[in-house]
Structure formats: structure tokens, C-alpha cells
Structure 1
């Protein structure tokens, strides 16, 4: 990259080499030529690295995202309304006949190969005190199983239940599992699955793919440089799912496999019911494009996003707790006695494949990302700037028909976000929720428990290979006594 000048006066002196002219002109078109500010101070190797880094960026797309996202600041926020009661299937409204019908309908769709599962697993366990992917984390259950293993075994269980649901079934139909990683977790996630022999699943029924990254920018939209030869980048949020599915041609892959419905969830929930047949059956029954499981907000100040409606008759969407007026968060429905804005988003979603195609195209066209002001590592030390990201719930405004399905928090939502010692969402709290739920399953199936510590501090763990949601336990539990803490398996 440097040219040697020879002669009596210039022997051994390196002549400066300008940045590649065509690349420089492209950067000028987007106001990003500042990335070459330290060009003259770089070695030939560093210049090569910088050029390759810039050439890897889709500058036109990134420029559109920056302009649209910064330009959306200060725009009027649409008025919001509570979610209409008709959009929500509440626990008290559902009959056992409804649940049984939905369960069978969901199992039938699974047996027909119509369901795929998408796992959002791009995050590291930094807040948990681990540098591994979150899914590798062991929350301390008697089995020592990781979150990944718990979820894989629930898929195995549902596959078996689906194959047993119809007489004359030709056998188990694999549920394809698409796992979205990030540049920070991809290699470690793949190696973890490989080293654990895919937890009993077939290797070819799992597809790993990476979410994208996007440059971090200053308040005026200029790229922040992490080093003199590298642009600072950050993952594009869990909503990067949609562009990643599109760019990786995985939406076409799903269609080729005959998939019609997609179950989408986050990795950090120890009680997640992966590929839930009841939820799937409900979703098919409603005939909507999108659906979400929700839990009732525990108290007005709980730090959770909630579903709202954009104006009367508008689409449902999610508003973050930080964006909601505190007075509005406390409003009470005088008829039901509940909070008016009570339906918490817990990242348990169901979409049609057709809708996912619509969302991927719509989000790409609109190019509006959320702006998160963060301290960005840069050549000037940590500097304040914007990380641009999309959220998985950004899909919902594109849906003309969204249904919400209430679940009981203690049965389906045990988040693992903070290290033990924090006041909520810790491995300890998630472990206790699992053990307590499974203890209730044992008692309901006619079993008994003994324990050497207070029962509210312990319990038993039931392997997902034995039971998905408490079913088929009588043969294992009836009349037997189990000492807690322990694992119940085949």
C-alpha cells in the first residue's frame, strides 16, 4: 500500500498512498469520509483492514437506516389505547374443551410438518457473570441442564407426543429449529451443540444463522471508529431476526420444508414451552397473522413492555415501560378492576410464514431503527453515541390481525437476566419457579414429596423427556414419594 521512493535524496522514504478513489467517493456521497481521517498514520496492513471493513458494509442501506432513524426523532407519537378485550384469550375465559381442541389441532399441524421454531439467542450472559452464550447457562437445577438442553428436550417431547397423537402415524416428524446467534455467540453456540450431540436432536434439523451488526454513529450520524482501522459496530437487536431470515434465504428454506407457522421466543426463559401445541392450535383457530403469549402485569411500575393499540381500531404494538407515562401505567379499568394497560410482552410469539415475509420487506423499506444512546468504545476512549437496533415486537404494527393469549406467569415465564444477588430475574429465582411448578405436577399426578429444607426453597425437577406440561405423569408418580431436591426422569 506504500510506494518506495528511491534516489539520492529520497532513498528509503515511503510516499503516501491515497485511499482507494472509488471507495473514497462513495463515502463522500454518504458523508462518511471521516473514516479515513487517520489513513496516513496506518501501516499497509492496517490500511488493508480498514478498506476491507468499509467494503463489507452496505453503505446505501446503512445510510438509509441512519437518515430514517435520526429523522424519526421528535415525530408525534400515535395516541394509544388499551388492548380491546376481544383481542385477548384470558385464562378464565378458556374452557378445558377449548384447550383440548387447540392441543389436538396443534399436534396435528406439527405432525404435518407445518411448524418451525425460531430461537433468539444472540446475547452473551454478561449480566449473569458469564462470557458464554446465554443458552449455555446452567441455572442450578438438580440435573445441571443448560437452557439450551431444556429447550431441546421440550422439542423432543413434543415430537413424540405429536407422533403418538394419531393412529397409524408414520413416525416422528422433526420440528426444524432455527437458532439466531450473533457474531459474539455464533462459534461458541455451534460448538456447544456439537459437543453435546445436539441434545438428542438430529444435527440436520437445526440451522444456525447470525443476526447482523450495524455501525454505531455519533449524534450527527457519522460512523464512530473503534480503532483507526475499524468501524465500531453493534448487533442490530433481536428484531434483526427479520432481515437475517431474509438475507440468509431462510424464509425460502421454511417454505420449501412446508412450514406455515413459526414459533419465536427468547432463550432466557427457563419455563418456555417451545412449540406449544395449545398456543399453535389457538393461533390456527383464530386465523390471525400474529399472536403473542402475555402475562398480567404484576404491578404498575413493573419494568416490562406492554401491548397497546395505536388509536381506536389501529394495530397492536408494544410500548416499553420507559416510554409510558407513569399516570397512564397506573390507570385502572373500573369494570374489570385490572390495570388498563396490563398485558406484558414476554417474547413468546407466533407468526404465519406469509406474515414474516411481509414484515421482512416492510421493515427493510421503512428502515426505522430504535436509537439507544450508549457509551461506545472508540479511538477517543468511550464516547457517547447511538446504537441502532430493531426489536422482535416491531413486527406487530404490520399485522392487521393480532391475538393475545394469556398464560400464567408461574407456569411459563421464568426469566434469567441478572446474576444471583439481584432482586429479580436471577438463576435462583428461575430455578425455584421450575422446581415449584414441577412439584405441583407431582402432587397432581398422585405423588408425594419429602424435603430436608422448607419446601418453598426447593422442589423436584421433571425431565422434559418425561412430560411437556404435566401430562402423562401418573405412571411415574402415583403412590411414590420423592425427596427434594431431585430430578425425576425415565
Structure 2
């Protein structure tokens, strides 16, 4: 008797045809293993045999959704760039900085009017970087939900929303002199992370968008990247999931691109984009003066800067890399002690004195260039961190881009000095820390607003030392201390309190 065969013979007339069954189709898991081998990441499936069907499905889905060529390029370029010598650092030229001391009243008035006109014409969009949680503040909520303890009890989100409402009103009033006006709506694009997206949306919905129209607020998510070992291997957080981290606040450029929001801005007629971080309670959102200055300078990008308080202050500063190179930001660790202390003989101030505080303005055309340029170069900052893994917390690497990574691409960048006591009150660390706490930020707000009220003819009484208290002026009353005389002149306010409409 003949041995059985897997082939089938079919005889037709004098022709014999042998049919061979097709080879079995590879499973998605096997196909992915082969793809991962090309990038040296096949260990992702090392515990495959121990996974349940549900866990296998989760792992396969996660790996299928990765852009492996892009991620591999980012890892290789970023790790290989470490340790390369940086170009020599030069101080920014004086001509690129508008300082507080040299700013004339007529310039400020001109810029204010130019900015309000552009806002009225719908040419300004606002991007908020809000991907972080309030972990260091002792909260798992999005940082923008945090209440720093002002008399009003308002969250950071509410304060910023009300500043937008105030600017909208000011823009409509400024244009009313030329005839009837229409309502003004500034588009607010809020970048979240996978950890803050849903709670941020719910917070806005539950507070009815703080008086803004729902259709002028758009939420979008920044990307994440796998955490890696120092030799570039993916770290597994569980046997069926990668350890991942947000790609830094510089991820805003790719996020705007891939979410289609750059096209959305263009379709709305937006020409200029104000971009800032959520944790500055004194931020002047959609600042008409800064916008007017930016338009007047004709620059592609701009940044508000504050003067370093002392040479060793741990802040990033604007510099030029290379002889006559573009402006960029370096971290304080890149300035040795002698360089940090060096002074300009003509002005007497520190040569490297302009601190970056994440208050930026860009043209939409430039943002499009950045979104494509940064993606092409794919060089990320390497941050060595403790990473949660299946083997416990291990030493690993997070890859991030920073908001200031765009500046080397700019054909021109203008710097605009502001006073930190007026526009920079960061909320980063829990009360009890030595700096940047809710308490320190609250006092900066109360002291600034107290000065506004006194300048407008108001008076204060207080039951605690005045340096430890003050008044809060609602953003709905005044954007930057203007138009307070009718509310404050001749009136006495007992601190602490909120002055509102």
C-alpha cells in the first residue's frame, strides 16, 4: 500500500497535475516578531507563552500601532547625538531684545492697538501646553485643575479662560470706535496627554467652559514614546505592555500636525499662534502688546524672557550656537560658572541673562515648517529616569522634545523682556518646598493686584501683614491693571478678597 501524501494528483487525459496546499498563514504575532527583529526589539514577545489570550491581543494591538521605522530612527539619532561636542555659545545680540527699560510708552500703545486689531480679525490662535498632572503638588488631576488658594478659589484653567474672555471684550471695544462690531472668539487649542485628556475635557464640560463657547475650545493629545534601556531596547512595563512616556512639551509640533489642527488654524484665518505652559498663574494669555510687537518686528518666532535673578539661577537661557548662528535655548548645566557670571561691559548685566519661561509666539507658516523639520531630524533629548518595568523600577531613558527646540529653525527670533513679578509665577512644587509653590505664586498674584488697585485709587485694610496677603482682581475686570478706576477709586477693600464684576 502506498504511503499517504499531502499532495493531490489530478489526472486529466494524459496530463497529471500535482496540487500542493498553500503554506499556513503566519499569525499576527509571528509576523510582528519578524518585523521587530529588523529593529532588534524582538524581546518584546519574550513572555508570549505565559500570556492569556486577552493579554496577547493587547500586546499585538500595541505593537501594531507603533510606527517602528520612525521610533527606531528617533532612538538611533537621539542616542548617537549624546556626547557630541556642542557648537560654541555666544550671547544674543542686544538688537534682538526689547527690554523693559528702553520700551517707550508710544511703542506699547501702538503694539497694544495692533494686537487688539489682529485679535478682532481672528488672526490669533492660542495653544496651551497642559499634558502634565499635578503629581508634585500632591494631586493626580491635570495641573490646570489646581486651585492655588486665591480668594476666588479659581483653578488655573478658569483664570486663563477668563483672561481670554477679557481680551475678546477689549478687542471688540477697541474696534467699536470704527463702527458696529461683531463678537470676538479666540480659538483655544489645549494639548493634553493620555493621562490628562479625559479628565481635562470633563473639567471643562462640568464648568461650562468657564464662559467660553464650547466650539472655540479644542482638545488634542501629545504623543508618547516607548521608554528604552541605555542601549536602546524597549522596556516592558508589564509582560503585555510597553513602558511609555509623553514625548515632551516639544511634542506639540507633531501633535498639531498629525491631529490636523495646523490645517484647522489655516482654515479659520489664523496667522499667529500664542503658545504657553499651564502652570504660570500670571500668564497673559493672548497678550495684545506681545502680539503687536511680534507683528511689528516681522519675526517668525518670539519669546517673552525674564532677566536672570543671579548667575547660578537654574534656568535655561537664550544663546547663539556657533558664530552668528540662530538663537536657541541651553540649559543651565551647559554654562560653566565663569560663563554664567560673565557680564556685558557696556550694559553691566549678565551676558547670558535672558531666561526662557515658555511664553512664545509663532507665525502659523513657521509652525508648519517646524512640524516637518523636527520630525525629519528626529533628535530628542535623552532623560535618564527610573522606569517602572516587569523587573521593578529600573534605570532607563525617556525621549523628549522641548518647546524651545524650534528656535534653531527660525529665520528670525525676537525676544521681549517682561518683569517676573508681573508675568511669571510658576506652580511646580508642593507647599513647603523652597520655590515655585502654590503659596509663592498666590502671593505674587495678590501683591501685583494690590499694586493695581492702589494705582487706580483704591485703599486696603488687612488683619494680617500686608506682605502676606493682598487682593485678587478678577480677569473679567482687568487684563493687566487697566480700567480699574471706576471700580476702585475711593473704595476700601479688606484683604484678602476678590474684586470682581
TM, length-normalised to structure 1: 0.96
Match of 2:333 among 322, 333, 341: 322
Distance, in Å, in 1 between the alignment partners of 2:433 and 2:314 is 14
Gaps of 5+ in 2: 1-25
User: Residue 61 in 1 paired to residue 52 in 2?
Assistant: no
Match of 1:75 among 74, 80, 84: 84
Residue of structure 1 in register with 2:344 after alignment: 333
Distance, in Å, in 2 between the alignment partners of 1:53 and 1:315 is 39
Aligned residues: 474
Residue of structure 2 in register with 1:165 after alignment: 174
1:77 is paired with a residue whose SS is coil
Could you give the per-residue CA deviations for residues 247-294 of structure 1, whole angstroms, max 9, x where no partner exists? Answer: 001000000000000000000001000000000000000000000000
Match of 1:347 among 347, 354, 358: 358
Residue of structure 1 in register with 2:115 after alignment: 106
Distance, in Å, in 1 between the alignment partners of 2:291 and 2:324 is 25
The correspondence of residues 358-397 of structure 1 with structure 2, limited to 5 A, is 358-397=369-408
- How far 1:328 moved relative to its partner? 1.0
Larger Rg: 2
- How far 1:214 moved relative to its partner? 0.1
1:349 is paired with a residue whose SS is strand
Distance, in Å, in 2 between the alignment partners of 1:312 and 1:291 is 21
Match of 1:227 among 199, 213, 238: 238
- Which deviates the most, 250-259 or 329-338? 329-338
Gaps of 5+ in 1: 1-16
Distance, in Å, in 2 between the alignment partners of 1:193 and 1:159 is 19
Distance, in Å, in 2 between the alignment partners of 1:326 and 1:135 is 36
1:91 is paired with a residue whose SS is coil
- Which deviates the most, 214-223 or 21-30? 21-30
1:160 is paired with a residue whose SS is helix
Distance, in Å, in 2 between the alignment partners of 1:55 and 1:114 is 40
- Which deviates the most, 413-422 or 331-340? 331-340
- How far 1:170 moved relative to its partner? 2.3
Could you give the per-residue CA deviations for residues 212-265 of structure 1, whole angstroms, max 9, x where no partner exists? Answer: 000001111110000110011000000000000000010000000000000000
Residue of structure 2 in register with 1:176 after alignment: 187
Q: CA RMSD in A?
A: 1.0
2:249 is paired with a residue whose SS is coil
- How far 1:95 moved relative to its partner? 0.5
Residue of structure 1 in register with 2:100 after alignment: 91
User: Residue 454 in 1 paired to residue 465 in 2?
Assistant: yes
Match of 1:131 among 136, 140, 149: 140
User: Residue 152 in 1 paired to residue 147 in 2?
Assistant: no
Distance, in Å, in 1 between the alignment partners of 2:396 and 2:438 is 32
- How far 1:40 moved relative to its partner? 1.2
Residue of structure 2 in register with 1:244 after alignment: 255
Contact 1:163 1:169 in 2 (8 A): no
Residue of structure 1 in register with 2:149 after alignment: 140
TM, length-normalised to structure 2: 0.94
Match of 2:490 among 457, 465, 479: 479
- How far 1:324 moved relative to its partner? 2.0
